[in-house]
Chains A and B, each alone.
Chain A
Amino acid sequence: MKNVFAASGMIMNEPLLWEKGKKGRRAMDIAESDVPTARLDSEIAGDGPDFPDLGELDVVRHYTRLSQWNFGIDTGMYPLGSCTMKYNPKINDKIAATPALASAHPMLSDDSCQGTLHIMYELQRYLAEITGLDAVSLQPAAGAHGELTGMLIFSAYHKSRGSKRDKILIPDTAHGTNPASAALCGLHPVPVKSGPEGIIAPEVIDELMDERTAGIMVTNPNTLGLFEENIRQIAEIVHGRGGLVYADGANMNAVMGVVDMKKCGVDILHLNLHKTFSTPHGGGGPGAGPVCVVRRLEKFLPVPKVMKKGRKYVLDTDRPHSIGRIHAFHGNFGILVRAYSYIRLMGADNLKKASRLAVLNANYIKEKLKKDLHLAYDRPCMHECVFSDQNQHDLKVSTLDMAKRLMDFGFHPPTIYFPLVVSGAIMIEPTETESKDELDLFIEAFKQIVREAKDTPDLVHQAPHITKVQRLDETTAARHPCLTG
């Protein structure tokens, strides 16, 4: 293969922070005190922490070297399925750092912070428009936090109707966090098997949905990258028996401008701003997981809620039906600003185009690789496609091996071994921001790995070869945890 991106370069070794430094060094200025030294009661005085003393350049080189051992979207294609690793526009970071916004204290009076409230109010409006739902809370700090908020609303809704429900339907193609979020609200997950086409059959729901079931949590498009075509019928069954429909909107990137979630029968949906709305994932957060609801559930949304009274924005805390507060303040505001900025840059037509190109890119990869890799469900996909290692079983080359080998070609591996319904799953979500050139290189790399699996399997088994470290011993890490140095 000609265009192998990755090469091992000048990667520096770097010890742990406390393995360097000298007592008395400092990487931060502290001005001389302009007040007298006060008496400190020995009863409260402690010794202070045992931190290493480092100079400014020590710290700068340390983290610069660490950063060079990392791979981000800016480094290369990052096709993690269901994670929507699209390009994170730099301008969003600049907008979020606007001094008047970044320095705002969260407990100012409403009059004092009209600018931050304006952004939140507008973003609420945009997200309602994009999903087709009526009201939005921006407080949840991540997708799973949004799910929890949704389940708290389920619980408050049923309680308000004097209805005791302790079960919830969760399909095998839903996101992994769903069962744990429901369990926190005392709801026992009832697994729903998807049908042979990879989507849920209404008959299954008809059988499972009863008066003790709070509703359903469905990921749509699901984690197989398929649209739940029967969603409307499923919603009718659930509603008919007093339940609610929760949609995990982590995969909203596939359907902006196309699908109306309210028309699908969805009552509550969370969005991941760090997926669909281009905010950076930061190596594991901070994200943001706003929750959108239909009108009849608006009264249950968390407090405070940003409202507009005349020309003034206010924080409404007097909402007796609300589930309460879910974050100390207003959620991850700095992330909300980035999503606001993204939507302003894109506008309606470009958001729709983003979804269409995301779907085009996924289908393109699916078509180009389906002769080489086993395709779990051979039908048109949405924003992601799911292959498996079934064709490589006899060669004793696994999904993990192929994923690791992709690193040597300069690509981040796809999501692997998820969804669980596909054994040895390889879940690829290219996103719309990857160009055809990039996709072609990825496809060519994967084809070569498939050839290698046959011709030189050891090369694949032992991959990655050019990363700073080789495969790591995760078993020992878990058996004898070393969590601090």
Chain B
Amino acid sequence: MRFLPHTKEEITSMLRDVGADSLDDLFSQVPRECRRDAPMVLPAPTTEWELNEQVKEIADMMEVQPDFNVLIGAGSYDHHIPAIIPALTSRSEFLTAYTPYQPEMAQGTLQGIFEYQTLTARLLGMDVANASIYDGASALAEALLMGIRIAKKKRKVAISRAVHPHYRQVVETYFRPTEFEVVEIPYLSDGRTDLSGLSAEDELAAVAIQSPNFFGVIEDLASAAEKIHGAQAVFITCFTEPLAYGLVKNPGSCGADVTCGEGQSFGIPRSFGGPGLGMFACLEKYVRSMPGRLVGQTTDLEGKRGYVLTLATREQHIRREKATSNICSNQGLCAMTAGMYMACLGGSGIRELSRLNYDKAEYFKKELTRAGAEITFSSPTFNEFVVGFPKRFKSAAGRLKKKKIIAGLELDTYYPELEGKYLFCVTETVGREVMDAVVREVKK
């Protein structure tokens, strides 16, 4: 086995040095009653050549191949990834390093994450961003727990029904064993969250809204901020498509206190839903309640600029059970990747790409409407939207699949009230001819 470098002679001499007769001898402290009865049963070892062949067969089991146009977003987006990104992220100095606990040997990771934090804060219009959380869903759960810490005595949080259904499920999982309650806020017929019932009497610690929300609808965050702050709650926004902020108002400028979401869109393949990263940012006054790692700038003994992990007194390994979160490893390399992607686009590039996504979706909405379909929600959207069809869409979707187009996500399972409606997503990777093919099927 090529990963195990020991020769027979070396094993013999090392055993002699440690005073053991055999490798088995090294395990004398393991009591008999804890040992396996039989050897492990696993597939026989393969060579790299064989494994390549076998994985090719597994890849062939995928009905949806890379040449398909998957018109589904819903928290996982298909964007072009510049070739330099995999080339740079696969540099093994980044890839095979551990968490930068020894800053003198990890300035590359540390400066890269510091830059990621900075660009993320600028994108979201917030004061500070952390080095990332596992994913968008766990970031939202952590944000709501943070809201509880900030509000101190209140025991309830609210979350919009237009937040990604999986995110709401993860929040429920995190909150179930706690003494805190999660309530749901309905959405209006225009697809935006209905905050009219909110009042200070609700004793809400925090309220979370997603924008663009699960329906692709851009929420009116500024008036939401007014209502939520009026109810004396912490205003949390989340997102699944950060590219939107190249074009639409960012959460910070609308008055959000904490904002978080999924960053997979930024240079990371969909990869069946992970790894991506949970982006997480807040106002400066809340930084000590924030979960997760932070990189800060400092100087070395000679006064040279350098970077370290900082404010660790919030974290699990120092504060133990009183920590702001149990998070340890985050999604370091994915945060580095997202930083690179933002650097590749630049200020003018992100604007143009964001606009392109918006325009594609607007074109698609218009053409579908002309073909007799109905856009369910009237509020503005980014690169996703909900649509209903004049007749059942199932057979059309089946025909489109044969043309290598996965036409939207059926919403029945997630929103029974939206039975028969589909959530569509188009990014810059979807050509006009693909959208036109869907439209033709609708007309049939």
Contact = CB atoms under 8 A, between A and B. Distances in A.
A483 B290 CA distance: 13
A232 B277 CA distance: 39
A49 B97 contact: no
Nearest to A145: B134
Nearest to B366: A38
A327 B51 contact: no
Contact of B304 (A333, A357, A470): A470
Most buried by A among B1, B10, B123, B358: B1
B26 A46 contact: no
Nearest to A432: B4
B316 A344 contact: no
Interface string B223-254: 00000000000000000000001111110010
A404 B334 contact: no
Contacts of A334: 269, 271-272, 274-275
B395 interface: no
A193 interface: no
Given A25-B346, A436-B10, A327 B270 contact: no
Contact of B111 (A16, A52, A231, A462): A16
A482 B297 contact: yes
A149 B168 CA distance: 17
Contacts of A412: 98, 102, 105
Interface string A166-181: 0000000000110111
Interface stretch (A70-78, A202-210, A391-399, A446-454): A70-78
Interface string B318-336: 0111110111111111101
Interface size class of B (residues with CB under 8 A): 35 or more
A99 B272 CA distance: 11
A363 B20 contact: yes
A46 B250 contact: yes
Most buried by A among B43, B350, B428: B43
Nearest to B130: A483
B93 A37 contact: no
A396 to B, nearest CB: 18
B210 interface: no
A299 B323 CA distance: 30
Given A34-B431, A75-B93, A46 B17 contact: no
B301 A470 contact: yes
A104 B362 contact: no
A49 B298 contact: no
B201 interface: no
Contact of A232 (B34, B109, B302, B431): B34
Nearest to B7: A436
A102 B329 contact: no
Interface string A398-427: 000001100100001100001000000000
16 contacts: A27-B346, A40-B247, A48-B247, A85-B98, A86-B3, A95-B51, A102-B270, A108-B72, A145-B134, A176-B316, A259-B35, A332-B274, A344-B46, A412-B102, A473-B300, A484-B121
